[in-house]
Amino acid sequence: PVSDQAFVTLATNDVYCQGALVLGQSLREHRATRRLVVLVTPQVSNPLRVILSRVFDEVIEVNLIDSADYVHLAFLKRPDLGITLTKLHCWTLTRYSKCVFLDADTLVLSNIDELFDRREFSAAPDPGWPDCFNSGVFVFQPSLETHSLLLQHATDHGSFDGADQGLLNSFFSNWSTADIQKHLPFIYNLSSNTTYTYSPAFKQFGSSAKVVHFLGSSKPWNCKYNPQTGSVLEEGSGRADQHQTSFLNQWWGIYHRSILPLCE
């Protein structure tokens, strides 16, 4: 195991902790050889911190308001960027030389240790605008200098989408043209609930996904699951793609089998 590298995620409340737990467990099941770190904010309850500590090697509290003055300043000037600035705290993990950040609404489907061969800043294209990267999965190098430059950028320019993705895309603005090595293949951040307009490609490549991202407003933890059949209950349209349903079933399989028992 490489102890100076880590997979990192973030949960600012108990609901997102459910996602972080399934993500952490999925990394373990696929024998991740790096440390597993979850950043939490003060809103996360004590019982959930205890459960997180059974899956993650480190549970680190980040507190926007109490941290360094420049964070405080950036926050006061841009209160709209609260969660965004929290995500940027991952750059302060300077005990690690390199990290892979994964949103709490991602699920790992196979070993992804090879991502540590990539350098900052590597990410996969966003399905909605492929010249932008999606900030749900990225390779970065912790650095207090980069952290303060990012905060300065947030204070000066805000974020064009009001969130971390807009900010990071304008900060790492040459991502789409400078170095193809920094383009992660789409299978490292496959959004499960996007309706792909290139469906033959999804049919061809969707099943090779290594990281699924449940981006958007409907998260796996909002679904209903039938443990007897091992499948989520289809709602509304009922014509979800079979890959999408299978990804949801995998998320719930882990939640039911490995996370709920920790909560008892």
Question: Using CB under 6 A, which residues numbered 72 to 111 contact ligand UDP?
Answer: 83, 87, 103-105
Q: Quick one: which of 93, 105, 172, 184 contacts Mn ion (CB under 5 A)?
A: 105
103 is a contact residue toward Mn ion (CB under 5 A): yes
- Would you give the binding string for ligand UDP spanning residues 38-77, x where CB under 6 A is met? ----------------------------------------
Burial tier of 114 (Cβ tally within 10 Å: 0-12, 13-18, 19+): exposed
Nearest Cα neighbor of 10 from 153, 136, 150 is: 136
**Residues 209, 157: Cα–Cα separation, whole Å:** 35
12 is a contact residue toward ligand UDP (CB under 6 A): yes
Q: How far apart are the first and last CA of the chain?
A: 31
164 is a contact residue toward Mn ion (CB under 5 A): no
**CA distances (Å), 39 to each of 58, 243, 250, in order?**
8, 30, 24
Q: Identity (one letter) of the amino acid at 54?
A: R
Nearer to Mn ion, 94 or 195 (CB): 195
**CA 47 and chain centroid, separation:** 22
- Whether 137 and 101 have beta carbons less than 8 Å apart is answered as yes
Nearer to ligand UDP, 10 or 52 (CB): 10
126 is a contact residue toward ligand UDP (CB under 6 A): no
Tokens (6 digits) for 84: 């965004």
223 is a contact residue toward ligand UDP (CB under 6 A): no
Tokens (6 digits) for 77: 């000037």
Question: Using CB under 5 A, which residues numbered 129 to 148 contact Mn ion?
Answer: 136
Q: Quick one: which of 42, 128, 130, 216 contacts ligand UDP (CB under 6 A)?
A: 216
What backbone torsions phi and psi does residue 139 show, to the nearest 5 degrees? -100, 130
136 is a contact residue toward ligand UDP (CB under 6 A): yes
Binding-site ranges for ligand UDP (CB under 6 A) = 9-13, 16, 83, 87, 103-105, 136, 215-216
Binding site for Mn ion (CB under 5 A): 103, 105, 136, 215
